[in-house]
Structure 1
């Protein structure tokens, strides 16, 4: 599941639980606002423009993510299912700051890649994943094109952040997604060219921005209810019981209260 958010001081994500899947929160480089996060284990931090947090809640976590600026925070949150054997491990975070993320270019210097997970242009992303995953932000200049190879059998989709162009022959606009075939043919992106070929034109295209995400199918049952993703109804019932009675990973969830949103009107 992918959600594009644009939240100001009236919004945010107060305290809520997760179990059985990873959440990937990316504050886009163009975002004017930023966010704070906090959990019931005492972890806390701040996500500014270009930062990414890869959270693996595993057996259970209670956390909050709230805006921390008068300007809206603009970003994406992706849910990634975990293999059954990884759903009961201890929680962990990978928080990558903008300056730690590889920004690489193709030979023509008209395609930029911000690499979080996976590999492109000979560069690998810093995120360590529980299963093979690709998460790359591509920025194409007007008229540029990209051929990106995706492993055969991977579930792959492309989400357009801005601009216009084509994805594997199909016209695509901002805030649209295309789910790819699992045939290993890869992804072909084309950014719309300038209308008259003059880079100084008032009608110059803004190019194209897109996120390519892919992952190896787990080939396991998926049972999702609210913020919990498990492999059977019995596991879901057990997880709800654990949360309700604050046990098996949810200790302190019944008494914990987040603080990061309490003073947001003072920013």
Structure 2
């Protein structure tokens, strides 16, 4: 092989096969749903980007249920209040800038949250599909401040592992989810672990080249060949990247729920109804 051919192989970039800007309703842009790109990107089956200006009107969700999935919320800016029904007494508090909320819904859970609009709020909420052995497990939640999220240079390890750093949140399957913050002119190269054929990136703010240009609000899906991806920041940029082994199970969907079978979906929805009854008895609904 000639030197020129060798150089060409060395710099070859993993191509983008799909890109989207999703659909925006108020402060929330839905980039991935289980019924569309979620089928391609599973175990990453849902992704919302949310942004509320300082003093703006934050979205109000109220108490709502989930089963069969886990949600991971990552705050790039600002803070949000949260409440859930995990454990004996539930959890409530405020997730700070740079914090991570993990809620494994299992056989049924209710939760709510609201951005605090004293400053700009920016972040992503991801849904992760669970394997059969976890989709009906006991619900639990983990809340990490920024000091609890492992860092490697510009990378925050939100789920899985990267460069020897491991998230304190147990990954339900073979996946990596990273928050990346680059200054203008910086370059970062991601080499996926062996077997990771799913890869995507979504830009919270800023402009990247990969070498195609990705701007604030863009999501790009990379091909399934498993090659490296090089990102170059044209401006100060914050984005998230997901990489993983394809979830091998069919998705069975209900309102707020995703499971691996019809039977598991019915059990999850029954768990949601049971917890709703408890919430009413406690005056929380």
Using a 3 Å threshold, how does the CA distance of structure 1 residues 120 and 242 change in structure 2: closer, same or farther?
A: closer
Establish whether residue 144 from structure 1 lines up as the match of residue 189 from structure 2. no
- Within the candidate set 35, 42, 53, 2:80 is matched to 35
The yes-or-no answer on 1:55 pairing with 2:108 is no
Alignment of 1:155 onto 2:198:
yes
State the TM-score, normalizing by the size of structure 2.
0.74
- Alpha-carbon separation, structure 1, partners of 2:190 and 2:94: 32
Cα deviation per residue 1:201-250 (whole Å; 9 max; x = unaligned)?
xxxxx233221112222211101122011123344344434434x2xx66
**Corresponding residue for residue 197 of structure 1:** none
Measured at CA, do residues 238 and 99 of structure 1 come closer, stay the same or move farther in structure 2, by a change above 3 Å?
A: closer
The residue number in structure 1 matching 2:225 is 183
SS of match in other structure, 1:14: coil
Is residue 233 of structure 1 aligned with residue 262 of structure 2? yes
CA–CA distance in structure 2, aligned partners of residues 21 and 95 of structure 1: 17
- Count the aligned residue pairs: 233
Q: TM-score if structure 1 supplies the norm length? A: 0.78
| Structure 2 residue 60 is matched with structure 1 residue 12 | yes
Which of 225, 243, 255 is the equivalent residue of 2:272?
A: 243
Query: Which 4+ runs in 1 deviate beyond 4 A?
Result: 7-10, 256-259
Larger helix proportion, structure 1 or 2?
Answer: 2
- Cα distance per residue 1:138-166 (max 9 Å; x no partner): 12222222221113343211111222221
User: How much does 1:258 deviate?
Assistant: 4.3
Unaligned runs of 5+ in 2: 1-45
Alpha-carbon contact 2:136-2:268 (below 8 Å) kept: no
Offset of residue 20 of structure 1: 0.2
State the distance in 2 between where 1:148 and 1:61 align: 35
Give the direction of change, closer, same or farther, for the CA distance of 1:257–1:189 in structure 2 (3 Å limit).
Answer: farther
Are 2:104 and 2:139, in contact at CA under 8 Å, matched by a contact in 1?
A: yes
